[in-house]
Amino acid sequence: MLDSAKIAVLLNGRLYGSEKAVFHRCTADSRQVKGGEMFIALAGEKTDGHKYIARALQSGAAIVLAEEKRLRREGVPVLPEKSSIIAVEDSLKGLQQLAAIWLKEIGARVIGVTGSNGKTTTKDMVAAVLGTKFRVHKNAGNLNTEIGLPMTVLGAPSDTEVMVLEMGMRGLGQIKTLCEISCPCAAVITNIGATHLELLGSRENIARAKWEIVESLPEEGIAILNTEDKISMEKAASYHGKTLFYGIEGKFGRPDLWAEEIIPSGDTGTTFRARYKKENVLIRLPLPGKHNVLDALAALGAGLLNGVNLESGSQALEGLQISAMRLEILPGCHQSIIINDVYNANPASVKASLAVLKERGGAKTVAVLGEMYELGAASQSGHREVGVEAAGLGVLELVTVGKLAEEIAAGALQNGFLPSRIHICEDCAEAVTATKKIIDLLGAGTWVLIKGSRGMHMEKISNELKTDNKL
């Protein structure tokens, strides 16, 4: 157990208050302090956490990690009897350093997960599979940044055997930093696409940034890679470390672990057979789409490398609980079915969701698509690419939301979509009105996909269209 006195020594910090204070989780938001937390006072571009130290302590924070200079400027507040403040030179670096120390102390193995699409779903799947044999800790939601990941680590119980850590990035060197904190022994890359192209400038830089997780592996570490992803396999060609390849068709390499006999199962699931060496098992995955089958294979691969056979892994996947707003199948108005996939969007993920829509909805399909952010110079072409795909798949009605998404409509027209079936909307409210009219006309059994970047808040549309009925 790390108490305040020990933490101060480990971080070479100055201790104010109790020497025996302990915490059960970390937060950098004083509004989330309920009692017993370590509040990390961070100085950001928009606000400075040091201004909220007193509030955090009043709300029950056990320990505050702060920066000495800023603490002196703001003044050391009156401390409750059992609380403490630890002042260090840099609170973010202190957080990261403490996470690395805690990880070494408890001795948990780390499986790192990154990729342009499917990180969170794959993380949840890996944790479920490994949870059949080990005590597992994972990121809550998508706490996958240089702040969220070390807070996740510090929230791990002392008896944790395996941590499954999702790693996000918005620039070169960021995944390397996360790996320096967590030291993964295995790494999953789901795929490498155009996400964050605006921030990194080129697909080559995105590939370099994602590949940092593989370069950080120890000599005995294993990279778990997708043979359906061109860039991953191009990078793998010059990689001399250990690998486990997974896939379906093996477009860009031969998979060691693969899926076949893939068929839709009910409204929400997919049945497939997984094969590895002499093992094979039929799996009923409670999620739609081939891209989710690929994520499941990655999880099974992580399990196999840690002594979890396909049979045990399949049982874990069949009982899977997935994070919200990711391909949720919900009952909609007028007996429609809503695919609520609003967590985020880029061209590859939208195309995967469109495939699910067409696979499930047949003739009566509506795609409600919002803007996709951070595509940089590829914004116009990326949005048009999605429109072309929607038309090619035979989606019946298209509703676009936002100015950038008008390029989706242009791409659809380019590929033969009927103009009368395209509805261009400025915002979510207008899109709700347009979509309700379409559902009313098409009637019961209409399938509606809702997807866009997080900043579009497309859940506003889902919330207006869904009902409390059960499917």
Cα(15)–Cα(76) distance, integer angstroms: 11
Contacts of 220 (CB under 8 A, 6+ apart): 185, 242
463 is in an annotated binding site: no
117 is in an annotated binding site: yes
In this predicted structure, the answer to whether residue 246 has a pLDDT above a threshold of 80 is yes
Q: What is the CATH number of domain 4-89?
A: 3.40.1390.10
Nearest Cα to Cα of residue 144 among 135, 136, 152, 134: 152
- As given in the structure block, the two tokens for residue 184 are 């993964």
Taking the C-alpha atoms of residue 463 and residue 99, their distance in angstroms, rounded to an integer, is 38
Spatial distance between the Cα atoms of 245 and 226, rounded to a whole number of angstroms: 6
Known binding residue 176? Answer is no
- Reading phi first (left if > 0) and then psi (alpha if -120 to 50, else beta), residue 28 is in alpha
For 205-240, how does the pLDDT look when each residue is reduced to its tens digit (9 = 90+)?
Answer: 999 999 999 999 999 999 999 999 999 999 999 999
Cα(449)–Cα(358) distance, integer angstroms: 10
Bridge partner residues of 226 (DSSP): 246
Residue-wise pLDDT tens digits, 364-395: 999 999 999 989 989 999 999 999 999 999 99
> How does residue 354 score in pLDDT terms, banded at 50, 70 and 90?
very high
Q: Is residue 251 a known part of a binding site? A: no
The answer to whether 391 and 417 have CB atoms below 8 angstroms apart is yes
Please tell me the predicted confidence (pLDDT) of residue 471.
64
Distance CA 289, CA 268 (A): 9
Query: Annotated binding residue at 173?
Result: no
| Domain limits, the chain | 4-89, 96-318, 328-465
Topology of domain 96-318 in CATH is UDP-N-acetylmuramoyl-L-alanine:D-glutamate ligase (3.40.1190)
Domain 328-465 bears CATH identifier 3.10.129.10: no
Confirm whether residue 467 is marked as ligand binding: no
Instruction: Tell whether the model's pLDDT for residue 426 goes beyond 90.
Output: yes
Confidence of residue 194 (pLDDT cuts 50, 70, 90): confident
269 is in an annotated binding site: no
Looking at the chain, the whole-number percentage of residues with pLDDT higher than 70 is 100
Identify whether the C-beta of residue 367 lies closer than 8 Å to the C-beta of residue 412: no
Residue 29 is classified by DSSP as: -
Comparing C-alpha atoms, which of 417, 435, 415, 416 is closest to residue 425?
A: 435
Residues 6+ apart with CB under 8 A from 248: 228, 255, 258, 259, 260, 262, 290, 293, 294, 297
CA–CA dist 191, 233 (Å, integer): 10
Can you read off the two tokens belonging to residue 58? 């009043």
- What residue has token string 């009925």? 469
Query: Rounded to two decimals, what is the model's pTM?
Result: 0.90
The confidence band for 32, taking pLDDT boundaries of 50, 70 and 90, is very high
